[in-house]
Amino acid sequence: GINAEYGTHNVKRFPKKTLLFFFFCSFPCRATKPPPPYTYIMASSSSSAAVGPGDVNLPYDGTSLAPEAVFIKEPAEFVEACGDLKQGMIKLETLIRKYSMLESSLKTQKVENADRMPDLQATLAAVKLLQARAAAGEENNEPMAVRYELSETLYANAELATPKTVMLWLGADTMVEYTLDEAFDLLSKQVAHVKETDKRLDSDLDFVKDQLNTTRVNTARVHNWAVEVKRKVTGGQE
């Protein structure tokens, strides 16, 4: 969501049905309706999943995204350390399952993070437009025609004079009033944060995919080793 420091900002909490009406209070406008939808934003949140060492006996420092999968050079030593072949395969399959869950969680976070960008950029563009009008002086500006959303598929027109503040919708029935400069700074930081988060998620996904590949190779090596041992014991007879 938006990481806002409320301070002395005007924080308002309203039922959803009245949010859009009060949104318009900061704008000297001829209409008594909400402003265009691109001047507010709904914050979103997402949870992250973590894969701990569990019972897979892998080196884990407690600070990285997940334990790093170690390539099994000697399947016989791995099986002996696990107790028997069955326990060794269970541990490898458990690790694959955990990495797969983490990969799925990261992909979901990446989609949610990407979905935030269009609203942020559109809201930032609207604030820039209002800053430009404010810099030109109210006496030099004609009322601005806007179209705002009353509800899904229903829009209305209004004329908007040059505002001095805007209100950002943070979600949870909460809106915070900012000056244009404050809103610009906040939204700019959020756009940068979303871009940085996207890069981090890409890096995390690459890491998890590498661990999945290593663990799958390990599983195949242990399985092939077990097949070879069985052939030697049975003298090549199935």
pLDDT tens digits, 41-66: 222 233 333 333 333 344 434 345 77
Rounded Cα distance between 193 and 111, Å, is 15
What does the DSSP assignment read for 33-62? S---GGG--------------TTS-----S
Q: Per residue in 84-103, pLDDT tens?
A: 999 999 999 999 999 999 99
Amino acid identity of residue 19, one-letter, is L
Please provide residue 13's backbone torsions phi and psi, each rounded to the nearest 5 degrees: -125, 125
CB 96 within 8 A of CB 211: no
Quote the pLDDT of residue 104. Answer: 94
pTM value surpassing 0.85: no
Quote the pLDDT of residue 148. Answer: 81
Quote the pLDDT of residue 66. Answer: 79
Positions of the chain with pLDDT under 70:
1-64, 138-141, 236-238
Sign of CA dihedral 195, 200, 201, 205: positive
Amino acid identity of residue 192, one-letter, is A
Quote the pLDDT of residue 21. Answer: 32
Q: Strand, helix or coil at 175?
A: strand
Give strand pairing partners of 177. 10, 167
Quote the pLDDT of residue 143. Answer: 80
Quote the pLDDT of residue 182. Answer: 94
Say what angle helices 180-234 and 85-136 make with each other, to 10 degrees. Answer: 160
